[in-house]
Every structure is written in C-alpha cells, then in structure tokens.
Chains A and B, each alone.
Chain A
C-alpha cells in the first residue's frame, strides 16, 4: 500500500462520517467556505451563506418568490415544448435528456416567463433554470424570451430577465445559435419603444446567452461572485496554456472592467430593481407641458 492510498482512504472516511452525522434535510455545507448552515436559516437568508456570502443557485420558483410581490406572478407560454428535430444523440439521446429534465423540473424547458408585480410595479419577467440542461438556450428558450419581449412592448412593460445558462443548446444545432440574433433583435424593438430592460446575471451565465440578451440590459446587474463569461475558463486555459488569475470572469471583475453596472447582494436585489425602475419609466406618466406653462 502506497502512502497515496492511505490519503485516499482517509478522505473517503471523512466523507462517510459527515454523511452519517448530518441529515441531508437539516444541515448543508457551504460549497464555498465549507461552513455548516442550518437549512431553515439558509432559506430565510435567501440562500446566501451567512459565513461567507456565497450565493447558492436558486430554482426559478425560489427566484420568483424572492423578487415578486406575493402571488402576483402569472405565467405565460408555459406550453411551448422542445422537440428533437435533429435526432441528436451524444452519450444519451436528446429525446431522453428532454424527458429527464422535464421530469426533474416539472417544466417544459429552461425558462419560465410571465408577468408580475415588483414592489407594486408591473413587469415582464423571465427566469432561466440552470437545472434544466444547464439552462441552455434552444428554440424554446429563444421563442419564449422573444414572445415575452414582444408582449412587453404591446403592454408597455419593462422587461427583467434573470439569466443563468451554459450557453446555446448544442443538441439543436445551428437553430440554437440563431436564437441569439432573434432575442437580441426583439430587444432592439424594446429599446426603440423606450422600455427598460434590466438583465440580472447570476451564477453561471456563459456562452451564447451572455453573447446575446444577457449583456444587453440598459442596466446589467450581477449577483456577487457569479461566473459571467463568453468563453468558459477551461476553454481559455486550454487556448492560452496558462492558469487564469483569481476572480477572473467573476461579477466583481466584470464591474471593474465596465461590463456590468452593479453588483448587488441578493438581500437587496428586489429593492434595488424597485428603486431603479421608476427612474426609467417616470417620463411615461409625465404630461407634456402646455405652451403657456413653459
């Protein structure tokens, strides 16, 4: 037995012990600092580690609950579903991947869209779901986001998209790439209608999603510590053959480099959006002054 085996054995033992002592449903370990967190406290803290401020990933429903006024969300276009039109198959067929992801998330695809109220203001909201095939954007995500934006224009509503995505969905081939132009084009129309778009970038947002709607906010807000990039860190490391600096492509790095407007802690996110929106929409309710009033 080599000394390496001994180390391996010791590590394994430690993991087993943890599993034995800590029931899954009561305590969790912070992915970042390793600190122990009582699940109820963590949930009350909006799933942010109380030791190190690590922001855990949220499910779309948790996100909607945190952002919107209670019971104000009305989902739309929920019926739009993906289809394996290329008969794509890698380590498992795309058809199977869809089925599995749908069973796991009880949703048709990787984004939920609808309208709701945020501190009393009516908004159009899209929340991406990293749990559904890595939040990848295929035809369904592209179509739902485009429809949300078009409907927001028709209803004169601001658009908020909470982004988290590994990029374009490879299993749908070039059609997925085209969703980047489609969603960005819809945002151009929103922009021409002078309706605000606030992009919320959460961990992780990469690839084709970043290189389309995610970066196009009138205001881009990142959650602390989120990985936000065009190319993934591994791809860059392989290309340049060096190790990347600490904090590279994290929210704070993007703020420094002028790519996001704000890094906002999850506990203040709802209030921050609530404060920003009126500034961008106030002109709509202003009456044009009559000549003699000038």
Chain B
C-alpha cells in the first residue's frame, strides 16, 4: 500500500509490525502495535486538509470502476466503442446485474500500473469516450435499464486529436441529452471529479460522493497557476475551491456523502463496494416508482436550481 505524504508517521509502526511478524514475535506485541497504528490512522484521518483529501482521491489504489463492478455485480458484460472512431479505454461501460436487476454501468477508468495507465490515458477520455457513454445511455433508455455512472477522472484529455474530433461538442451533447433520458440515473464520484470531463457522464437524478472524493471546476494545480499565478499554491487553491464531499454536499450540489472505511476506500474495496451497492439499490427502488417523463423533468429542475446569485 502506497503511503501518502501525511501518512508517513504510520510508516515506522508498519515497519515494526512487519519485522515482528518476520521473527514471529509475541502476537500480543504485534496486536498492540496494530492497535496503535489504527489509532494513529484514525487521528490522521480525523483532521484532513482539503489538499490531503485531494491526495487520497488520487491514490493509485483507489477503488476503480472496473474493480467495483466486479465486486457489486453478479454478471457484467463490457460493451465497446462509439461506432464511429474507436473504443476509448478511459471510459468503460456495459450491462451488469446488480442484486436482481440489470443496470447500465458507465465509468471513467484509470490504470492500475504505469503500462495500464498509458493504455487508459490516466482516465482522461477523448471525445469517442463520451460518445460511447452516450450510445450506451441511449440504449439503456430504449430497454428501460437504469443507469449508474462512476466518476473518476482528472479531466477530459487536452490533446490535438481530442480537439480535432470535437471534445467540447462531445461533452456538450452528453449534457444536453443526459438531462432528458427517461430512466433513472445515479452518479457516484469515486475519486477525482475533474471538471467538464466528469460532468460529461454525471447529469444524474442522484449525485453522491465518496467521503474522500473531490469534485471541482478545475484542479487545484490549474487554479493555482491561472488565478494565483503560482503553481505552488495548489494547497491554498484546494481550500478556496470547496471541492471536498463535505463542502459539495453543504453547497447542495451533491445529494450525499458515502462514508469510507477508516484510512480511506483504497484500504478496503469490499467494504466500500458493499456500501456503494446498498446506496444504489435503495435509490433505484425509489426512482423505479417515478415515470420516465417525471425522471427527466426532475433532473432538469435539479440542475436548473444550481447556482447562487442576487435577483432583486
């Protein structure tokens, strides 16, 4: 497990535990140290700064779309391609079986190691990724399948090909079309909710964030270099942006925060998956009773009401 900068105090204890285990020392001694580690971990995680939360959200072992699908679905068939250009591995989608129902699941996918990250483009989709997502969502609407999306991207890819193939148009079209889909949509931000690249698959009836996920109009680094004119001020930018789950729920832009196990979701995928699948099942049960037209209208009104201004 990769330890983050602020978790470094844990490293010593973990090292001691490992040594003791190797020399098969008294289990009591090991147990005591493990308790100490848990206590320290709880302390460290009780007072996280926004920028520390950004680090957790980006943890390389953070639960991913594919990992979670395996844990929450009894069956899953991945479906590929936008029918026009190529299959974008930065967004995966397909039909899964969740408890007793079929659902369309779509999500960003980062890589698990360097090679995989290059293949997945670090979870940064190209236009064809958004077009694949929309194709699958329209299919879901046709066959009356609810849609679940998992958000975890630094942002849509800023590249030459992406611009040539209409990155902006692809995202805009998703926003326009998702609003009107006549099936339930539940979105969960797992890790990084990076700007338009995240929103492009997150126009939902219910929006949740994992406890240590972030959702932001721009990355703290981007904000620091544009507004603070100093890329080193990312930590400060993270404070001002109000990008943590607590803040986003407080602002009314997400419906709820899904708690993570102590030490973060990356330490216990199974536990995280159980919580997530309970949230989805509960919501789908409620949303099932609403007609397709009402679902679309409620979704429109939800986004219609986002924004704060003075109108006198």
Residues of A within 8 A of B (CB): 79-83, 85-86, 88-91, 138-140, 142-143, 146, 168, 170-182, 184-189, 191-192, 207-208, 210-216, 229-231, 235-236, 239-240, 244, 248-249, 257-259
Contacts and interface: CB of A to CB of B under 8 A. Distances in A.
B165 A230 contact: no
A184 B309 contact: no
29 contacts: A82-B310, A88-B240, A91-B227, A143-B307, A143-B309, A168-B196, A170-B227, A174-B215, A174-B241, A175-B308, A177-B195, A178-B253, A178-B307, A179-B306, A179-B307, A180-B196, A181-B178, A185-B180, A185-B203, A185-B300, A186-B304, A188-B179, A211-B175, A211-B200, A215-B166, A215-B173, A236-B159, A244-B160, A257-B166
B296 to A, nearest CB: 9
A236 B217 contact: no
Given A175-B251, A230-B196, A236-B163, 7 more contacts: A79-B312, A82-B309, A90-B237, A138-B307, A173-B251, A181-B306, A188-B179
Contacts of B243: 173-174
Contact of A181 (B199, B226, B242): B199
Interface string B217-259: 1100011001111000000010011110000100101000000
A174 B307 contact: no
Contact of B304 (A88, A185, A212): A185
B169 interface: yes
A180 B310 contact: no
B218 A170 contact: yes
Contacts of A189: 300
A90 B169 contact: no
A231 to B, nearest CB: 3
B4 interface: no
Given A172-B308, A178-B306, A179-B307, A184 B253 contact: no
Which one of A86, A139, A170, A236 has the greatest number of beta carbons of chain B within 10 Å? A170
B251 A230 contact: no
A216 B172 contact: yes
A236 B158 contact: yes
Interface of B: 156-160, 162-169, 171-173, 175-180, 195-196, 199-200, 203, 215-218, 222-223, 226-229, 237, 240-243, 248, 251, 253, 299-300, 303-304, 306-312
A187 to B, nearest CB: 6
Contacts of A91: 227-229
Contacts of A89: 240
B56 to A, nearest CB: 18
Given A170-B227, A181-B199, A184-B176, A239 B309 contact: no
Given A208-B195, A230-B156, A239-B159, A174 B217 contact: yes
Given A181-B203, A187-B176, A239-B158, A139 B307 contact: yes
A175 B163 contact: no
Contacts of B203: 181, 185
Contact of B175 (A139, A172, A184): A184
Given A90-B228, A170-B227, A175 B306 contact: yes
B117 to A, nearest CB: 15
Nearest to A171: B227
A179 B305 CA distance: 10
A83 B311 CA distance: 10
A229 B309 contact: no
A240 to B, nearest CB: 6
Nearest to A258: B166
A174 B167 CA distance: 20
Contacts of A229: 163, 168
Given A79-B312, A230-B158, A174 B196 contact: no
B235 to A, nearest CB: 13
Contact of B303 (A81, A171, A178): A178
Nearest to A235: B158
B241 to A, nearest CB: 5
Given A89-B240, A236-B160, A257-B166, A174 B312 contact: no
